A = this chain, B = another copy of it.
Amino acid sequence: MGTATHVGSAPTPALVFEVLTSYQRSAALHAAIELDLFRAIGDGPGDVASLATQVGASERGIRILCDYLTIIGLLTKEDGRYRHSAASAAFLDPRSPSCIASTARFLGNQLMTEPFQHLADIVRSGHTTIPGEGAVEPENPVWVEFAHSMAPMMAPMAAPLGAIALDGLSGPMRVLDIAAGHGLFGIEVARLNPEARIVALDWAPVLEVAKGNARKAGVQDRYETLPGSAFEVDYGGPYDIVLLTNFLHHFDKPTCVGLLKKVHASLRPGGRAATLEFVPNEDRVSPPMAAGFSLTMLAATPSGDAYTLRELEEMYSQSGFERVAAHPVPNGPHTIVLGHAGTPAWR
């Protein structure tokens, strides 16, 4: 029975029951988003009868769903009326500029959730049950969904990433945005530096999303695209900055090192590579969101992982980078890791 003992109050089975029914939390939020419930909550007045009319649903269903969302912290309830919690006001009301409700489409995508139905098999084999390369199979259409629906969650990271990537650099420069997706990171660099030219690399259908965002941001004249696989296409450097966001975690270490070598070779001396990653502490069990991300990579990829800073430093070092610095993104689970490609000769 190991060394765990029941010191103090007796443990209760509540945690086990709660974990076994946790899938209901995801389902409840998906249902609320599908019903556009958070818009109705924002509109008020928030009583069951009004909400049921507003979203076209039954009173029984609305009352039970809203109670459940209150229990899990996504609404508040007072005198029988439901109102936004701080989290739902900021991140789930579709009129909030920081609304991330669209992330439900990617996070609830069948490709991402289905492997969890076979998780024991995946633990046995050590890799995803998705055929081929899993989520990173070439041209997987899930990345178009990612580019569309995850952009609002990534948007708050663009400003810190742009500032850190550009820190100390100015003037004309070329920037490669690998696995550009929605393109928001490269676009932010272009906005911050009007002399920066961006080359966005991703599958061709994904690049259509990035190009649309570049137009919206008014940087389309300095925005080129390079369709294809990051492992196969010629990057066409030299670059001052390479952005490599939300990408390394899909692959094993040798693959990451191979890619980082290619990145390093595309940089001019003094250039830098910036990765944005979930970076768990060396204990791999904290902080919860970054550390827990490994399970998603186990389920969805052949050999990906959430790498610790030490592991990322080793990969960068083995790929020829001279110096690595970590910058946790404020108020978020991500860390920006910057690799420097050696001091320019003139310094």
A contact residues vs B (CB 8 Å cutoff): 1-7, 10-31, 34-35, 41-42, 44, 46, 56-65, 67-68, 70-74, 76-77, 83-93, 95-96, 98, 100, 103-104, 107-108, 113, 116-117, 119-120, 122-127, 153, 283-286, 288-289, 291-292, 294-299, 303, 305, 331-333
Nearest to A93 among chain B residues (CB) is B1
Chain B nearest CB from A121 CB (Å) reads: 9
Pick from B29, B42, B305: contact of A64, CB under 8 Å: B305
CB pair B124 A58 closer than 8 Å: yes
Known: A27-B117, A77-B285, A123-B61. A67 touches B294 (CB 8 A): yes
Contacts of A86 in B (CB 8 A): 4-7, 11
Contact sample, A vs B, 27 pairs, CB 8 Å cutoff: A1-B84, A1-B96, A4-B86, A4-B89, A6-B86, A6-B89, A10-B90, A11-B87, A12-B331, A13-B87, A20-B107, A21-B296, A22-B23, A23-B26, A28-B119, A35-B124, A58-B123, A58-B124, A58-B126, A60-B127, A61-B298, A64-B297, A65-B119, A67-B294, A68-B294, A68-B295, A71-B285
CB distance A291 to B27 under 8 Å? Answer: no
- Asked whether, in the complex, the Cβ of B23 is within 8 Å of the Cβ of A285, the reply is no
A104–B121 CA distance with the chains assembled, in angstroms: 17
In the complex formed, the residue of B with least CB distance to A58 is: B126
A2 touching B46 in the complex, CB below 8 Å, given contacts A25-B22, A87-B11: yes
Contacts of A60 in B (CB 8 A): 126-127, 298, 303, 305
Does B14 lie within 8 Å of A289, measured CB to CB?
yes
Q: Bound complex: CA of A131 vs CA of B89, how far in Å?
A: 37
Determine how many copies of this chain the complex contains.
2
- Chain B residues lying within 8 Å of A4, measured Cβ to Cβ, are 76, 83-86, 88-89
* Nearest 5 Cβ contacts at the A-B interface: A58-B126, A61-B123, A4-B89, A4-B84, A31-B119
A300–B74 CA distance with the chains assembled, in angstroms: 23
CB of A293 to closest CB in B, whole Å: 9
Interchain CA distance A84-B76 in the complex, whole Å:
35
Decide: A19 near B29, CB < 8 A? Known: A1-B84, A2-B84, A67-B285.
yes
Given the contacts A31-B119, A34-B120, A123-B57, A74 and B298 also touching, CB distance less than 8 Å: no
**Which residues of B sit under 8 angstroms from A64, Cβ to Cβ?**
123, 294-295, 297-298, 305
With A84-B2, A87-B15 as contacts: A29 and B20 at CB distance below 8 Å:
yes
Q: How far is the CA of A83 from the CA of B295 in the complex (A)?
A: 19
- Is the beta-carbon distance between A15 and B74 smaller than 8 angstroms? yes
Q: Which residue of B lies closest to A101 (CB)?
A: B16
Distance in angstroms from A89 CB to nearest chain B CB is 4
- Tell me, in angstroms, the Cα distance from A44 to B2 when the chains sit together: 7
Q: Report B-chain residues with C-beta under 8 Å of the C-beta of A127.
A: 58, 60
* Complex CA–CA separation, A61 to B294 (angstroms): 10
